[in-house]
Structure 1
Amino acid sequence: MEVVIQTSAQHLATLAADAVAQLLADRPDAVLGLATGSSPLAVYDELARRHATEGLSFARAQAFTLDEYVGLPADHPERYRTVIDRDLVGRVDFVPGAVRGPDGLAADLRAACEQYEAAIAEAGGVDLQILGIGTDGHIAFNEPGSSLASRTRIKTLTAQTRADNARFFGGDVAAVPQHCLTQGLATIVAARHVVLLATGRGKAEAVHQMVEGPISAMWPATVLQLHPHVTVLLDEAAASRLQLADYYRETYAAKPAWQGL
């Protein structure tokens, strides 16, 4: 696990966008994993800028989103398919149908989850997965207590997650759905490269547990310690609980330029 600490959130977004751009240069038909929420927004802004001004193309790429609320109408502004279209897909040149997400309106949710797993496998798996992390250590909607071997499935959201997400629903916790479909922890870990972004002191404890704590279902993101290629991009506030922060800074400063992320 590589930990990169920077003073500027924009610098973190640039690093993540660099990784995506390099992947697409090497493999134009790459498969991306797209997260929603606040953490990746600056990354998507940077990718959209590069598409508009530098010709960065997604025309041959595919992408899969991490999760979806159950039961939100197709035209709801906070449905994650709508959100990712607004934040990234509609701003670049993915071809129609190239970006897929779990179907939170399916009549048979279990079958929809199995079909989603099959679609990811058929695409060859995710090459680069963008992630955020919740204050309780969840990634995607894998809440504390989630199986480390879990695959795409229905989950019940914790009160903390619903409270954190209420800001997207006008501050009304009751408007946040109780259930979601989410890629499982084993699904996420199957991605070949994971790039996780976290900013702000509110994420500091979750980041500390993820990077330096024991692997535990109580902090689902700790499963990433088992992954061979994880890049954790942090601002100073999110890194403030890390015991080995100075070592991470020294390691990144001494990193050979040819390595990339």
Structure 2
Amino acid sequence: MEVVIADEYTLAELAADAIERLLRTEAAPVIGLATGSSPLRIYDELTTRHKNEGLSFAHAQAFMLDEYVGIADDHPQRYRNVIDTEIATRVDFAEGAVHGPDGSADDLAAASADYERKIVGAGGIDLQILGIGTDGHVAFNEPGSSLASRTRVKSLTQQTRMDNARFFDGDVEQVPKLCLTQGMGTIMEAKHLVLVATGGNKAEAVHQMIEGPISAMWPATVLQMHQHVTVLLDEAAASRLQLGDYYRHAYENKPEWQNL
């Protein structure tokens, strides 16, 4: 697990660099997209590179991490609409190239299995963008989730609903109680995981993820078992790390040829 501590703009540039390398070197790259506040600067940077430097997504596919259940198709906080607004319609993804779990399906279990098949059919995810919740959840894998779980229906914790209420005019009662989410087992099959966390409210979750024991109480801790994880942190999110100085030293002294 590589830990990089820098300002938000540098973190966005580093993540965008990794995605750009993928887009420019792979014939059919597959990118995993996340919602929430953490990836927004990454999407802005990618959009800038698309407009100013011709970075193309036309040959790529993308898969979303999760989707609310029981939210109107035209609701601005439906995650498919959020992804369309923040990145998909700002660049040149081909029609039908961006996929999300179907939170409106009559049979949610079948929709979950179908989503797993689509990811496999695309050849798997090359680079997955991730965030982390204040309670250590990744995607919507809440504390107590199986670390080997697949795409499925999950109930959101009250803490997650309270955290997400800021997107629903501050009203937690508007936040859906159910979602479809990629499981931790699904996420762990991506070739490269890039997790971005900013702000002091993420510091304890970040500390547990990187330096704590692997436990379903902090689902993000299973990322310690992945062979290629990059964790991008600002100073506030890194403030609880016991080995912060070592992570800074390691990054500053890595070989020049070595990317994230």
TM-score by structure 1 length? 0.99
Deviation, 1:29, is: 1.5
The 3-state SS of whatever aligns with 1:24 is helix
1:125/1:191 contact within 8 Å kept: yes
Gaps spanning 5+ residues in structure 2: where? Answer: none
Report sequence identity in percent: 70
1:28/1:58 contact within 8 Å kept: no
Deviation, 1:30, is: 0.3
Deviation, 1:28, is: 4.0
1:206/1:219 contact within 8 Å kept: yes
The CA distance in 1 between the partners of 2:27 and 2:230, in whole Å, is: 21
RMSD of Structure 2 on Structure 1 (CA)? 0.5
| 1:87 is the counterpart of 2:115 | no
Q: Deviations over 1:86-141 (max 9, x none)?
A: 00000000001000000000010000000000000010000000000000000000
Q: Deviations over 1:180-222 (max 9, x none)?
A: 0000000000000000000111000000000000000000000
The 3-state SS of whatever aligns with 2:145 is coil
The 3-state SS of whatever aligns with 2:94 is coil
The 3-state SS of whatever aligns with 1:22 is helix
| 1:30 is the counterpart of 2:9 | no
The CA distance in 2 between the partners of 1:157 and 1:92, in whole Å, is: 31
Q: Deviations over 1:8-36 (max 9, x none)?
A: 10110000000000111111420000000
The CA distance in 1 between the partners of 2:133 and 2:140, in whole Å, is: 9
| 1:186 is the counterpart of 2:167 | no
Amino acid at match of 2:124: G
- The residue number in structure 2 matching 1:69 is 68
The CA distance in 2 between the partners of 1:19 and 1:108, in whole Å, is: 37
Q: Deviations over 1:48-94 (max 9, x none)?
A: 00000000000000000000000111111000000000000000000
Give the number of equivalent residue pairs.
260
The CA distance in 2 between the partners of 1:241 and 1:247, in whole Å, is: 13
Deviation >4 Å, runs of 4+: none
Q: How does 1:29-178 map to 2 (within 5 A)?
A: 29-178=28-177
The CA distance in 1 between the partners of 2:69 and 2:200, in whole Å, is: 30
The CA distance in 1 between the partners of 2:255 and 2:95, in whole Å, is: 39
1:31/1:126 contact within 8 Å kept: yes
Amino acid at match of 1:37: G
